[in-house]
């Protein structure tokens, strides 16, 4: 993985990455403290890719861009790559502000609408039930029950979404970007590739520094996301070494194939750690978090760390390396041997 020699633009300005491609970096109020947003130039106007979380800082930043470097042309379309709050949070206000048609994929729309429809109370109860099944301590389970919806806290009311699907093309002033949809970090993330020019907006599925969070979701905690992500990563190992990759976080880079292989190895290492530990004693998600991360977390990180541990356990079950059982308190247990009760 080789970083490109380009620095993020200062707040309120844009960095040009190609004739038709601009890069903005927005602040996030999380440990991962920024997001990369991209803008394509088309004959009809700007296509904005992702929006930031819904807060005052994002609103001011968009205001500065729309009245500054983007002022010369209309905003033609907005593309939300996936339903996570840092990508979709400000989509509603941005659509209202610009009047632009807003797109995402079908699975991402559905997931966003499902999450947004949960009231604070519904979200708290569902997360508490999930944490209970994960074997988290009672005080943590009780704390999230009344903590409200982290989704609604960071997301404005959603706009109407039009749909993009795999194979759709976006023609720009300098090339043509083909839409991909992939499963792993989310249900059907949109990414864009201009193969001819060797440019790839990978968004959150291929990142240069951190491993994209592969997190079982409270909507479907048993789903084996890692299998889908491995299929994606395997394909990515064949990316041309000089393709320029523009990720949703951190910095643009080359040698995406090398990076994809590192991520495959990283997940296999984690799977092996859990599989080995389960030979001594059955695991819960809580004990798996200890093995994978070896430390405790704040609320926001707890959500992702527990989901990540769960996703690895789901995969071990899916490939037959562990067996899922339930104890009499309703906690999910992952054991090396299948215990058959007569």
Question: Applying CB under 5 A, which residues contact Zn ion?
Answer: 84, 204
**Residue 195: CB minimum distance to Zn ion, A:** 24
- For Zn ion, the closer CB: 202 or 244: 202
- For Zn ion, the closer CB: 204 or 332: 204
**Residue 51: CB minimum distance to Zn ion, A:** 12
**Residue 214: CB minimum distance to Zn ion, A:** 10
- For Zn ion, the closer CB: 187 or 204: 204
**Residue 186: CB minimum distance to Zn ion, A:** 6
- For Zn ion, the closer CB: 182 or 204: 204
- For Zn ion, the closer CB: 17 or 53: 53
- For Zn ion, the closer CB: 215 or 255: 215
**Residue 12: CB minimum distance to Zn ion, A:** 24
- For Zn ion, the closer CB: 190 or 278: 190
**Residue 332: CB minimum distance to Zn ion, A:** 25
Q: Nearest-CB residue to Zn ion?
A: 84
Reduced 3-state DSSP string for the chain: CEECCCCCCCCCCCEEEECCEEEEEEECCCCCCEEEEEEEEECCEEEEECCCCCCHHHHHHHHHHHHCCCCCCCEEEEECCCCCHHHHCCHHHHHHHHCCEEEECHHHHHHHHHHHHCCHHHHHHHHHHHHHHCCCCHHHHHHHHCCCCHHHHHCCCCCCCEECCCCCEEECCCCEEEEEEECCCCCCEEEEEECCCCEEEEECCCCCCCCCCCCCECCECCCCHHHHHHHHHHHHCCCCCCCEEEECCCCCEECHHHHHHHHHHHHHHHHHHHHHHHCCCCECHHHHHHHHHCCCCCHHHHHHHHHHHHHHHHHHHHCCCCEEEECCCCCEEEECCCCCCC
**Residue 243: CB minimum distance to Zn ion, A:** 21
């Amino acid at each position: 993985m080789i970083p490109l020699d380009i620095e993020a633009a200062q707040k309120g300005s844009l960095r040009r990455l190609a004739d038709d491609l601009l890069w903005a970096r927005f602040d996030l109020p999380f440990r991962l403290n920024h997001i990369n947003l991209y803008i394509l130039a088309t004959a009809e106007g700007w296509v904005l890719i992702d929006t930031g979380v819904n807060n005052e800082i994002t609103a001011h930043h968009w205001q500065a861009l729309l009245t500054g470097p983007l002022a010369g042309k209309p905003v033609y379309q907005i593309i939300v790559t996936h339903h996570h709050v840092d990508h979709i949070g400000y989509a509603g206000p941005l659509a209202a502000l610009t009047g632009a048609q807003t797109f995402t994929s079908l699975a991402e729309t559905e997931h966003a609408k499902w999450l947004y429809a949960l009231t604070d109370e519904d979200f708290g109860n569902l997360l508490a039930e999930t944490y209970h099944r994960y074997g988290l301590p009672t005080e943590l389970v009780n704390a999230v029950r009344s903590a409200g919806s982290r989704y609604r806290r960071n997301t404005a009311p959603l706009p109407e979404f039009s749909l993009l699907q795999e194979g759709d093309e976006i023609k720009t002033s300098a090339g043509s970007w083909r839409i991909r949809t992939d499963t792993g970090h989310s249900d059907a993330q949109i990414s864009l590739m201009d193969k001819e020019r060797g440019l790839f907006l990978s968004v959150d599925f291929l990142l240069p520094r951190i491993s994209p969070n592969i997190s079982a979701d409270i909507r479907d905690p048993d789903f084996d996301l890692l299998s889908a992500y491995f299929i994606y990563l395997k394909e990515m190992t064949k990316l041309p070494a000089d393709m320029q990759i523009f990720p949703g976080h951190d910095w643009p880079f080359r040698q995406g194939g090398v990076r994809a292989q590192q991520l495959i190895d990283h997940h296999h290492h984690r799977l092996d750690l859990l599989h080995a530990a389960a030979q001594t004693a059955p695991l819960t998600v809580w004990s798996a978090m200890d093995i994978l991360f070896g430390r405790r977390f704040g609320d926001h990180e707890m959500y992702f760390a527990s989901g990540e541990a769960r996703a690895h356990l789901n995969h071990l079950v899916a490939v037959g390396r562990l067996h899922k059982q339930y104890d009499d308190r309703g906690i999910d247990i992952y054991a090396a041997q299948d215990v058959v009760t007569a």
